Amino acid sequence: MNNSVSQMLMNYAPLVILFVVGWFFGARHERQHLAQLAISEKQLNHIIVSTERFYQPALADGTQGELVLGSVVIAQDYFKMVIARVLSIFGKNLTTYETLLERARREALVRMRTQAHTKGYSHIYGLRFEVSNINQLGSMVEAIAYGTAVMINE
């Protein structure tokens, strides 16, 4: 009996080690991505973003509105998705999906603001988000942020 238990542990040890290593590197990458997003958001904070659709500010002479967008596809590591599947059986809050969606929305917003900044705009109006699953497991999402960029006379 003791031999069968030790044999079973030896059979599953590589799987457990792989799971722990994958979890570690996935969590590290997520922390690095969130830290980089915070830096980018701070650098682009001067671009005002609003969800108002029909705002008519005093535009700079010769300024027309222009569509700007940011798009990103982000995947969650499969090790976290395994845990999320287990937690979903018990009806738990799936923070794995929440952080995936948060990262996708924030990255799309940063990319949209970067495009507006590159083109010299100071404001974005009519902000809209669209998020969709890329695969059936829900571990990959595409987020698109778009709006109308304008230059405002202050």
Query: Under DSSP, is residue 83 helix (H, G, I), strand (E, B) or coil?
Result: helix
Mean pLDDT, range 116-128, rounded to an integer: 93
- Exposure b/e, 107-120, CB count within 10 A at least 16 = b: bbbbbbbbbbbeee
Residue 38 tokens, joined: 């915070």
Q: Answer yes or no: is pLDDT of 107 > 80.
A: yes
- pLDDT value at residue 137: 65
Average pLDDT over residues 8-34: 80
- pLDDT for 5 equals 65
Taking alpha carbons only, the member of 67, 53, 57 closest to residue 151 is 57
What CA–CA distances, in Å, run from 111 to 8, 88, 101, 152? 49, 32, 15, 21
Domain spans, the chain = 2-150
- For residue range 39-84, list pLDDT tens digits in order: 999 999 999 898 887 666 666 666 778 999 999 998 877 777 777 7
In this predicted structure, the answer to whether residue 105 has a pLDDT above a threshold of 60 is yes
Residue 124: band (very low, low, confident or very high) from pLDDT cuts 50, 70, 90: very high
CATH 3.30.70.100 fits 2-150, yes or no: no
Residue ranges with strand state E in 24-139: 48-49, 66-75, 123-133
Average pLDDT, the chain: 83
**Assigned token pair, 148:** 């109308």
Name which residue leads in pLDDT, 108 or 136.
Answer: 108
- Check if the beta carbon of residue 130 is closer than 8 Å to that of residue 143: yes
Compare 23 and 3 and report the one with higher pLDDT. 23
Residue 34 reports pLDDT greater than 60: yes
